[in-house]
Amino acid sequence: MGVLSNKIDREQLKPGDHIYSWRQAYIYAHHGIYVGEGMVIHFTRRAGQETRSGTILDRLLISSPPLRATFDTPCPRCGDQTRSDGVICSCLDCFLSGGDLYLFEYSVSPAFFLAKARGGTCTTAFSDPTDEVLHRALFLLENGFGGYHVFKNNCEDFAIYCKTGLLVVTNISVGRSGQAASCFAAASAVVSSPLRFMTASFGGLALVGCGMYCVSRYVSDIGVRGDVAKVPVEKISEMAKEQ
């Protein structure tokens, strides 16, 4: 692994690893926690309801449910999970849905984080010990992780919580997901920066836009933002009921 790719082989997997696989021509990635014996626990939204907006986005962001379009029969280990909702356990093949396997990295340096221009691949936050990660994933498999939301509470948010125990405690539009943060950072760089009017050259505009994007991504990272707190997994279901 390195700056260019987090791709790994299956033989390198260890229980407690946060893994992901790109969907829809690298538009979006689906994340989960590998729990051993070829199984992955992950957070899903039923196919066609990713954003629950009733728009084309629901078709573009079919990332969560395990898809077995190349098979005539359901998976012998998982059954038909294409209509699954919430936290589920799937075999690695169903989780990947024909895609490649990637490992999400923790405790990276700020320089390395910024060098990874695409969000949703690493964080500066530290992972907890494997036994704590597996305990959270297994507990949430039985008790749920609240309602799925593509920007506030998605599959990457689930995996990051399992690894760190951190939850956002403020009511803002973006959760812990690096993918969501990148989308908002890109939008901010394009339309929200007054600095874009301070230079007329294309090179200057590109530099300002890149700088805004990097800063927005970094301050949204779970490892540096100040609006997060360590929350015991046993309280997650209680919090979900209160919402």
Single-letter code of the amino acid located at 142 = E
Per the structure block, which two tokens stand in for 65?
Answer: 């449910």
240 falls in which pLDDT band (50, 70, 90)?
Answer: low
23 falls in which pLDDT band (50, 70, 90)?
Answer: confident
Tens of pLDDT, residues 24-78: 777 889 999 999 999 999 998 865 444 444 444 544 454 455 555 445 578 888 8
Q: Is residue 129's pLDDT more than 80?
A: yes
Q: Regarding the domain delimited by 10-178+221-236, which CATH topology (the fold level of the hierarchy) does it fall under?
A: endopeptidase fold (from Nostoc punctiforme) (3.90.1720)
So what's the pLDDT on residue 157? 92
Q: Is residue 165's pLDDT more than 90?
A: yes
Report, as an integer, the average pLDDT of 9-14: 96
Listed by start position, the domains of the chain span 10-178+221-236
The CA distance from 170 to 158, in Å, is: 17
CA distances from 127 to 89, 96, 175 (A): 21, 23, 17
Report, as an integer, the average pLDDT of 143-159: 88
So what's the pLDDT on residue 136? 97
Q: What percent of the chain has pLDDT over 90?
A: 41
pTM, entire model:
0.80
The CA distance from 236 to 243, in Å, is: 11
The CA distance from 6 to 12, in Å, is: 12
CA distances from 84 to 12, 95, 119 (A): 28, 12, 26
So what's the pLDDT on residue 151? 77
So what's the pLDDT on residue 100? 94
- Give alpha helix (H) positions in 83-201: 92-96, 110-115, 130-143, 155-164, 178-191
Q: Does 89 or 64 have the greater pLDDT score?
A: 89
Q: Is residue 192's pLDDT more than 60?
A: no
First to last CA, the chain: 39
Q: Is residue 2's pLDDT more than 50?
A: yes
Per the structure block, which two tokens stand in for 110?
Answer: 């700020």
So what's the pLDDT on residue 219? 81
Enclosing H/E stretch for 20: strand 18-23
Tens of pLDDT, residues 218-229: 888 899 888 899
Per the structure block, which two tokens stand in for 87?
Answer: 């936290």
So what's the pLDDT on residue 51? 46
Q: What percent of the chain has pLDDT over 70?
A: 67
152 falls in which pLDDT band (50, 70, 90)?
Answer: confident
Q: Crossing angle of helices 155-164/178-191, nearest 10°?
A: 120
> Would you please indicate which residues are annotated as catalytic (active-site) residues?
30, 42, 155
CA distances from 12 to 8, 9, 18, 34, 132 (A): 7, 6, 12, 11, 20
Of 73-87, 121-135, 140-154, the least confident: 73-87
Mean pLDDT of the chain: 79
Per the structure block, which two tokens stand in for 141?
Answer: 């498999």
